[in-house]
Amino acid sequence: MSGGEKKSAVSPTVLLVAFVLLLASGPLWLPPFYITLLNYIGLSSLVAMGLVLLTGVGGLTSFGQAAFVGLGAYTTAALSTGTVALPEGLLWLTHSPWLALAVGLLFTGAVAWVLGALTLKLSGHYLPLGTIAWGISIYFMFGTLESLGGQTGMAGIPVVSVFGIELARAEQMYALIWAFVLVGALTTQNLLDSREGRAIRALKGGVVMAEAMGVNTARSRMVIFVLAALQACAAGWLYAHLQRFVNPSPFGLHMGIEYLFMAVVGGASQVWGALVGAGLITVLKQWLQDLLPALVGRAGNYEVIVFGALLILILQHSNDGFWGLLSRLVPVRARRKTVSVDAEPLPRQAMPPQGEPVLEAREVTRRFGGLVANDAMSLTLHAGEILALIGPNGAGKSTMFNQLSGVDTPTAGEVWLRGRNVTGMESRDVARLGLSRTFQHVRLLPRMSVLENVAIGAHLRGHRGVFPAAWRLDRTEESRLLAEAARQVERVGLGPWLHEPAGSLALGQQRIVEIARALAADPCVLLLDEPAAGLRHLEKEALAALLRKLRGEGMAVLLVEHDMDFVMGLVDRVVVMDFGRKIADGLPEQVQANPAVLEAYLGGVA
Ligand code: ADP
Ligand code: MG
């Protein structure tokens, strides 16, 4: 155990139980007006929660969530009021709102999948712009289609029944809405706390890192996009049966923006922040809509200006939004991962036989415009060998690593891994074949614990997907993955920092965390880009000892390093690069005496 816990910190379980009790007792003591308000807060919370996953965690901004709310609402309205003419054989779908919910979720999921396939490829600001485009299109479709009631909308939506009880009154819908919110929050929380969730969180650490660890980032983006749409759809379904009437106006772009406000103001990376944000914005809107026009003396949506100012103010003070401010007032004890020592170890790959050529570059050339960063580079790495790739800054070593690991594709030449031509393969597929790597510029998730960062490396050694994770059916596998990650952290000597945020470690130690993450993948080829940079003498010795041990186990290690004392005492062979070309290849002592190498390093002074 490290890091003293504050005695005063509140346990999250106690907080959750208190919150649920407070919610459940609401109808007993709250006036009806507040129940209605809480119903709207609950509906918005569901949508904002999807945005926490999508925007706060995954880094994808969507202004179009209101359109998905609309799809949920309109599907159930169309089915349950019989507005849409269905063929005889499908009439049973109109019999219960619950069937309409299932249809709505399927339909919204399909629409989101298509929209996601079209827009998630967009980068930078084009993605939010894309969401605005389809958000507006869907909104106008509601108003234009005569069969959906046009601008007038559809009335006469029936009430929902649960176990034969008709939920006709606001406080009855209150129970249903908040049951949805709680289930949504808990399943989202569970999802984030899993293999699949780490892959989603890794999106923020950069696509390159996540892919190199075996994560299919396009799939992860799609998963959160569809999940956020489904949560919005469920909110729309609840809304339709609460109002018993729908028209297009609540599903426009202005609501899409408001949902995003809620997520960001609440604390975009926190599931419970969605509730805080939804509560805050809904109450504030109610209040400002009464107050501001009276102050200004004219009618108008002045609250939007206040929201904007609020957003900027909160973002300046806390990246975690209002939730961040709240949790500073009431410190909540961090949930600490338990690592079970008796989890069954994960299966391991057999190492290739000692001396077998495992990784080969054949005349690899990489051009960046006019610059030739790698010029017909060839090298061979054998099992049970440590090979150093050295050369002055800008020689093309990191570029070489990218060609070898599938992070980048050579302009010409081939890369072979364990007898397979892997040129042009995705880095996650190269990872699957047993190659793992670290990055010269550390790519960790600074706020995630060392343990969880390392567990990202074990991504390909687990299989459980989104649904098992959301319902905690993945716990056996998860404890095996975490135990493996913890084992690697111990192995590289960072045991005492297991539960610390990776960003709190010294930069040199963060490089070591990257080595543990690479090892968690159970590779047979390890590529380390400047692993000893920033380490102190004793730490370097410990690293050298670890690398020798790995070599003894049959691992093939390729490393870039500037510290010649470290390199020369450790490695079996050295390849020297200068201006993208190989200028020497041999035993350390041969290379050290090579005039071309001295020339490259000392500029001919020798
Ligand atoms: P090293 O790791 O040996 O210091 P790099 O492989 O990082 O060298 O860089 C080799 C050369 O290629 C440098 O001149 C660098 O500016 C250039 N380079 C690397 N990556 C890119 C890129 N993505 N686009 C353009 N130039 C690049
Ligand atoms: Mg480099």
Starting at the edge strand found earlier in the chain, the sheet holding 573-578 runs 435-437, 525-529, 556-560, 386-390, 573-578, 581-586
Of 23-32, 266-275, 410-419, the poorest mean pLDDT is in 266-275
Question: Would you state the pLDDT for residue 390?
Answer: 95
The radius of gyration computed from the CA coordinates of the chain, to the nearest angstrom, equals 28
Residue 187 Cα to ligand 2 midpoint, Å, equals 42
Question: Would you state the pLDDT for residue 392?
Answer: 93
Q: How confident is the model at residue 89 (pLDDT cuts 50, 70, 90)?
A: confident
Q: Is 394 in the pocket of ligand 1 (CB under 6 A)?
A: yes
Q: For 512-551, write each residue's pLDDT tens digit.
A: 999 999 999 999 999 999 999 999 999 999 999 999 999 9
Pairing of strands 412-417, 357-368: antiparallel
Q: Are 253 and 40 in contact (CB under 8 A)?
A: no
Of 54-63, 151-160, 276-285, 313-322, the poorest mean pLDDT is in 313-322
Closest listed residue to residue 54, CA positions, set 173, 287, 220: 220
Q: Chain-wide mean pLDDT for the chain?
A: 92
Q: Are 321 and 381 in contact (CB under 8 A)?
A: no
Closest ligand, as measured to the CA of 370: 1
Residues 259-282, mean pLDDT to the nearest whole number = 90
Which residue matches tokens 């609540």? 250
Residue nearest to atom 7 of ligand 1 (CA): 398
Q: How confident is the model at residue 4 (pLDDT cuts 50, 70, 90)?
A: very low
For 455, the enclosing helix (H) or strand (E) is helix 450-457
Residue 405 Cα to ligand 2 midpoint, Å, equals 14
Distance separating alpha carbons of residues 166 and 160, to the nearest angstrom: 6
Q: For 303-317, write each residue's pLDDT tens digit.
A: 778 877 877 777 677
Q: Could you count the other beta carbons within 10 Å of the beta carbon of residue 17?
A: 11
Atom of ligand 1 nearest to the CA of 397: 3
Q: Which residues pair with 374 in a beta bridge?
A: 366
Q: What percent of the chain has pLDDT over 70?
A: 97
Q: Is 393 in the pocket of ligand 1 (CB under 6 A)?
A: yes
Atom of ligand 1 nearest to the CA of 577: 3
Residues 25-54, mean pLDDT to the nearest whole number = 95
Strands (E), 369-501: 371-382, 386-390, 412-417, 420-421, 435-437
Atom of ligand 1 nearest to the CA of 402: 6
Q: How confident is the model at residue 295 (pLDDT cuts 50, 70, 90)?
A: confident
> How far is residue 10 from each of residues 6, 253, 331, 562, measured CA to CA in Å?
9, 39, 6, 48
Q: Is 396 in the pocket of ligand 1 (CB under 6 A)?
A: yes
CB burial readout 466-498, b (16+ within 10 A) else e? bebbbeeebeebbbbbbbbbbbbbebbbbeebb
CA 433: distance to chain centroid? Answer: 24
Strands (E), 75-197: 154-155, 161-162, 165-166
Atom of ligand 1 nearest to the CA of 396: 6
Q: For 341-363, write each residue's pLDDT tens digit.
A: 888 999 999 999 999 999 999 99
Q: In sequence order, which residues have a C-beta less than 8 Å from that of residue 237 and are 6 or more positions away?
A: 72, 73, 75, 76, 97, 100, 101, 104
Residue 438 Cα to ligand 2 midpoint, Å, equals 11
Residue nearest to atom 20 of ligand 1 (CA): 399
**Rounded to 5 degrees, what angle do the CA atoms 484, 442, 403 make?**
90
Residue 395 Cα to ligand 2 midpoint, Å, equals 8
Is pLDDT at 482 greater than 50 in this prediction? yes
Residues 588-596, mean pLDDT to the nearest whole number = 90
Pairing of strands 525-529, 556-560: parallel
Question: Would you state the pLDDT for residue 605?
Answer: 45
Atom of ligand 1 nearest to the CA of 529: 2
Is pLDDT at 333 greater than 80 in this prediction? no
Residue nearest to atom 17 of ligand 1 (CA): 373
Q: Are 377 and 352 in contact (CB under 8 A)?
A: no
Of 39-43, 286-290, 369-373, 391-395, the poorest mean pLDDT is in 286-290
Counting ligand 1 atoms within 8 A of each CB, the residue from 399, 409, 528 with the most, and so the one to mutate, is: 399
Q: How does DSSP classify residue 56?
A: I
Counting ligand 1 atoms within 8 A of each CB, the residue from 365, 366, 367, 371 with the most, and so the one to mutate, is: 371
Distance separating alpha carbons of residues 281 and 259, to the nearest angstrom: 9
Q: Is 398 in the pocket of ligand 1 (CB under 6 A)?
A: yes
Residue 366 Cα to ligand 2 midpoint, Å, equals 15
The top-scoring range by mean pLDDT among 2-6, 55-59, 449-453, 559-563 is 449-453
Distance separating alpha carbons of residues 185 and 180, to the nearest angstrom: 8
Residue nearest to atom 16 of ligand 1 (CA): 394
Closest listed residue to residue 346, CA positions, set 460, 264, 432, 465: 460
Is pLDDT at 414 greater than 70 in this prediction? yes
Residue 200 Cα to ligand 1 midpoint, Å, equals 29
Q: Is 395 in the pocket of ligand 1 (CB under 6 A)?
A: yes
Which residue matches tokens 């892959």? 199
Question: What does the block give as tokens for 329?
Answer: 């007032």
Q: How does DSSP classify residue 439?
A: -
Residues 125-134, mean pLDDT to the nearest whole number = 92
Which residue matches tokens 């049951």? 179
Counting ligand 1 atoms within 8 A of each CB, the residue from 364, 368, 372 with the most, and so the one to mutate, is: 368
Distance separating alpha carbons of residues 13 and 79, to the nearest angstrom: 40
Q: Which residues pair with 578 in a beta bridge?
A: 581
Question: Would you state the pLDDT for residue 556?
Answer: 98
Question: Would you state the pLDDT for residue 303?
Answer: 78
Residue 396 Cα to ligand 1 midpoint, Å, equals 6
CA 484: distance to chain centroid? Answer: 21
Distance separating alpha carbons of residues 131 and 128, to the nearest angstrom: 5
Q: For 152-183, write each residue's pLDDT tens digit.
A: 999 999 999 999 899 999 999 999 999 999 99
Distance separating alpha carbons of residues 435 and 65, to the nearest angstrom: 40
Distance separating alpha carbons of residues 391 and 375, to the nearest angstrom: 14
Residue 398 Cα to ligand 1 midpoint, Å, equals 7
The top-scoring range by mean pLDDT among 270-279, 315-324, 393-402, 585-594 is 393-402
Label each residue of 405-437 as H, E or C: CCCCCCCEEEEEECCEECCCCCHHHHHHCCEEE
Q: Is 575 in the pocket of ligand 1 (CB under 6 A)?
A: no
Residue nearest to atom 19 of ligand 1 (CA): 399
Q: What percent of the chain has pLDDT over 90?
A: 76
Q: What is the length of the chain?
A: 606
Residues 399-409, mean pLDDT to the nearest whole number = 98
**Ordered structural domains, the chain, with CATH:** 9-329 (1.10.3470), 352-434+523-606 (3.40.50.300), 446-520 (no CATH)
**Rounded to 5 degrees, what angle do the CA atoms 322, 325, 328 make?**
150
Distance separating alpha carbons of residues 465 and 198, to the nearest angstrom: 12
Q: Is 397 in the pocket of ligand 1 (CB under 6 A)?
A: yes
Residues 1-30, mean pLDDT to the nearest whole number = 78
Is pLDDT at 2 greater than 60 in this prediction? no
Q: By CB neighbour count within 10 A (0-12 exposed, 13-18 middle, 19+ buried), where does 201 fall?
A: buried
Is pLDDT at 30 greater than 50 in this prediction? yes
Question: Would you state the pLDDT for residue 327?
Answer: 76
Residue 577 Cα to ligand 2 midpoint, Å, equals 12
Residue nearest to atom 5 of ligand 1 (CA): 396
